[in-house]
Amino acid sequence: MTTATTSTDSTTGSASTTNSASTTGSASTASTASTPGTVSTTGSASTVLPLAGRVAVVTGASSGIGEATARLLAARGAAVALLARRADRLAGHVAGIEAAGGTALAVPADVTDPAAVTAAAERVRAELGRADLLVNNAGLALPDHLGRGGDTWRRMIDVNVGGAFAVIEAFVPDLVAAAAERGHADLVTISSAAADTVLPGFGGYAASKAAVSHLLRNLRAELAPKDVRVTAVEPGAVDTELRDDLGDPALTSAVQEAVAALGPLPTGTDVAELIAFAVTRPRHVSLPRLSLLPAYEV
Ligand SMILES: NC(=O)c1ccc[n+]([C@@H]2O[C@H](COP(=O)([O-])OP(=O)(O)OC[C@H]3O[C@@H](n4cnc5c(N)ncnc54)[C@H](OP(=O)(O)O)[C@@H]3O)[C@@H](O)[C@H]2O)c1
């Protein structure tokens, strides 16, 4: 069911009409936090969504953590652009979000193609408005095959590091402008517990995530004075498609067995809940580095 609610943005003072999707059961009432996009209550607190008025971009939104995050941010009121290469999957997720009363846009693009990422940013600006919430999540994890002629490490660097840079380059001007106008914006990047872990056979992946986490520490210093809150999320194993095909059936089975031994894994939705929590804190609160592990991973 969709309920239209006219409210006042507590930051800009401008009236806006928002759609409240009650299908997910995840609508929450606005707190007293003065986060931009938070809509002040008008007496019907049950229909107020904490991300109403915000424009979110989620990369890697065709599956796993990105898909769950796009769905959750939309259910909490944000207009969400979903970016990844598999256009058919994105279209399906957009249809699902819209059917639940949310607003979403499919933006097929490869993050290793800076021109495509720039074009995607222009499209988001034209169709949804200036982004004030970026979830930089697209990535992949492959074994290195170092010394055996493989170059998967290069793909890891291209997608996980180069792609993250391209997306940040394309969207940071919008985040900074949104923060200047409304007082606040959020840049979230999905790194990994691998940023700090020794993973034999996956050194390229671990190194790429170490680069991302360190980039985020630097960006936080640069962007905090501009009111852009920077958050690195560093999950351990999550139940997604990431390990479904490591390019080597024997290795894929071995890795899947090792991960299964950890017991039940967090889901993409568990990570999405953490992201939604971080971006709805009051603006004087920053959660720069968030870890999320399977309960039995130590
Ligand atoms: N699952 C875990 O255990 C785990 C743990 C720690 C960190 N992470 C991180 O979480 C992030 C999301 O992964 P996931 O676990 O949700 O796995 P996933 O289901 O495989 O999702 C990966 C996403 O990245 C997108 N992607 C890959 N290459 C891309 C490219 N060149 N351009 C645009 N999009 C691209 C994929 O979409 P298309 O194929 O449609 O392009 C897909 O939507 C990754 O950064 C990963 O490193 C995962």
What fold characterizes domain 51-292? Rossmann fold (3.40.50)
Written as tens digits, the pLDDT of the chain (298 aa) is 333 333 333 333 233 333 333 333 333 333 333 344 443 334 445 678 999 999 999 999 999 999 999 999 999 999 999 999 999 999 999 999 999 999 999 999 999 999 999 999 999 999 999 999 999 999 999 998 777 777 899 999 999 999 999 999 999 999 999 999 999 999 999 999 999 999 888 999 999 999 999 999 999 999 999 999 999 999 999 999 999 999 889 999 999 999 999 999 999 999 999 999 999 999 999 999 999 999 988 8
CA distances from 8 to 3, 5, 18, 135 (A): 16, 10, 10, 26
Selecting among 153, 171, 202, 205, the annotated active-site residue is 205
Q: What is the pLDDT of residue 2?
A: 34
**Which 3 state secondary structure label does DSSP give 221?**
helix
Which among 118, 197, 240, 289 is the best mutation to test ligand 1's pocket, defined by most ligand atoms within 8 Å of the CB? Answer: 240
- Looking at ligand 1, which residue's alpha carbon is closest to its atom 44? 139
In one-letter notation, the amino acid at residue 267 is T
Contact 279, 51 (CB under 8 A): yes
Q: Which residues pair with 59 in a beta bridge?
A: 83
CA of 60 to the centre of ligand 1 (A): 5
Residue 69 sits at φ, ψ, to 5 deg, of -70, -45
CB atoms within 10 A of CB 181: 14
Which among 191, 238, 262, 290 is the best mutation to test ligand 1's pocket, defined by most ligand atoms within 8 Å of the CB? Answer: 238
Q: What is the pLDDT of residue 30?
A: 36
- C-alpha 106/C-alpha 66 separation (Å) is 13
| Residues whose beta carbon lies within 6 Å of some atom of ligand 1 | 59-66, 84-86, 110-112, 137-141, 159, 163, 190, 192, 235, 237-238, 240-242, 268
Domain spans, the chain: 51-292
CA of 233 to the centre of ligand 1 (A): 13
Whether 205 is catalytic: yes
